[in-house]
Amino acid sequence: MSSRGHAIANYAVFIGLRYSFSRQRNRFTSVIALVSMLGMVLGVASLIVVLSVMNGFAGELRGRILSLVAHGYVESETGALGEWREIRERVAQDSAVIAVSPYISDKVILGSDRSLRGAVLTAIDPDLEARVSSLSNAIVVGSLDSLHEDAFNVLLGVSLARMLGVSVGDRVEVTLPRLTVTPLGVFPRSKRLTVSGIFEIGAQPDVYQAYVSLRSGQRLLGQAQQVDGLQVKTDDLFAAPRTMARLADELGDDYTVKDWSQTQGSLFTAVKMEKLMVSLLLLSVVAVAAFNIVSTLVMSVAEKRRDIAVLRTLGARGLGIMAIFIAHGLGLASVGITLGSLVGILLALNISDITVFLENLFGVKLFDPSIYFISELPSVLQWTDVLAVVLASLLLSLLATLYPARRAASIPPAEVLRYE
């Protein structure tokens, strides 16, 4: 390539950006370019805000559900754990284990004067449970200490108590999946329990979960000194899978060891899948805006035919012409991506305040707390998401510039100059 060609190649970006922001363009071309940039702003901002809200929802779910769920579980392959105290001591010896608590759990029917509801009845040791989960912090009426009493007391989730129409001091009847043989026949085992507390975590367990003391559970379910398994709390929630895998190797094949990612993994997998699908849908908005750049560049190529012919005559090759129009298209896209990123980041950081402002302005509640567990729009901005959105948008924009740039490079200069 000649020295002129080198000079033109070096100034390809400069020439392309001059084309992008020149005031002497055709008005219609300018309108199309503006629409393309606004579409890019909208798409990029929407993606960043939605990804941040999805991150916030995932964090809220993780925090609320895992506040009641242990990091890991140890159960027997053959059924109930008989020598659970010995197993508890072995598990507690692991350096990563903070606390271990026994439990018994079964599905029951709870009844009141108003209605019947299915529930999960879990028997716990109140002292040890306080070390394993945050149940004591979630109790809004009553206390976890009420389960210490010898009486048959029960803690109910706030939604479950509301559906049963009971409060602290009321009695509910629990029907167990056990049979009692009497002279009159065989009947399901049932017992009246006193509501001693109500808890609220703002998630699904509020609808179905009930707790009794371990001693009451053993008597109700007829398990004597046995338990269903052990709950384990580790020093790091996200390292729990490795810790529980190590415990599984130590305990052997006679025991089933699970971690929270196995017991609750389907929920968080569903949240990740929703985030991915929503991202792909909104990325289509960015794709449409990016490919609007094709129209802008095609019209720009038609306008700049003489300029292209002159550049080719001065020694520019096809790649140099392509570089000019790729820079032209990416210049337009970069403005839209930059503005969209700034708008998206500002909205993501202030979405909760904006939601409150709109609710106060119009006098409505967007997410009724009586219907939704999460009544606010949580938002967690992750810079990796922002980077991914920016890179994906730039890639789509680059792909959109290739066809017009190639078309510009194929214009024969002799024919253009002959008729100009």
Q: Per-residue pLDDT for 341 more than 70?
A: yes
Burial of 98 (0-12, 13-18, 19+ CB in 10 A): middle
Query: Residue 114 carries which DSSP code?
Result: S
Residue 368's contacts (CB-CB under 8 Å, 6 or more residues apart) are 375
Q: Per-residue pLDDT for 4 more than 60?
A: no
Length of the chain: 420
> Which band of pLDDT confidence, cut at 50, 70 and 90, is reported for residue 26?
low
3-state DSSP call for residue 243? helix
Question: pLDDT (tens digit, 9 = 90+) per residue, 182-211?
Answer: 666 666 778 899 999 999 887 778 888 999
Across the range 52-56, mean pLDDT stands at 87
State the helix-helix crossing angle for 265-303 and 318-362, rounded to 10 degrees. 130
Radius of gyration of the chain (CA): 33
Q: Per-residue pLDDT for 373 more than 60?
A: no
Answer for the pair 166, 119: CB distance below 8 angstroms, yes or no. Answer: no
Confidence (pTM): 0.69
Question: pLDDT (tens digit, 9 = 90+) per residue, 141-159?
Answer: 888 888 876 678 899 999 8
Q: Per-residue pLDDT for 371 more than 70?
A: no
Nearest Cα to Cα of residue 289 among 85, 41, 7, 16: 41
Of the listed ranges 60-69, 231-240, 341-350, the one predicted with least confidence? 60-69
Cα separation, 417 vs 420, in Å, equals 5
pLDDT of residue 346: 93
3-state DSSP call for residue 357? helix
Phi, psi dihedrals of residue 207, rounded to the nearest 5°: -90, -30
CA distances from 308 to 155, 318, 327 (A): 79, 10, 15
Pairing state between β 153-157 and 139-142: unpaired
> Which band of pLDDT confidence, cut at 50, 70 and 90, is reported for residue 387?
very high
Residue 42's Cβ-side half-sphere holds a number of Cα atoms within 13 Å equal to: 12
Nearest Cα to Cα of residue 110 among 179, 151, 170: 170
pLDDT of residue 357: 81
pLDDT of residue 343: 93
Which is higher by pLDDT, 133 or 19?
Answer: 133
Q: Per-residue pLDDT for 23 more than 80?
A: no
Across the range 339-365, mean pLDDT stands at 85
Run of H or E residues at 231: strand 229-234
State percent of the chain over pLDDT 90.
Answer: 9
Structure tokens at 105: 């759990």
Burial of 23 (0-12, 13-18, 19+ CB in 10 A): exposed
Q: Per-residue pLDDT for 167 more than 50?
A: yes
> Which band of pLDDT confidence, cut at 50, 70 and 90, is reported for residue 1?
very low
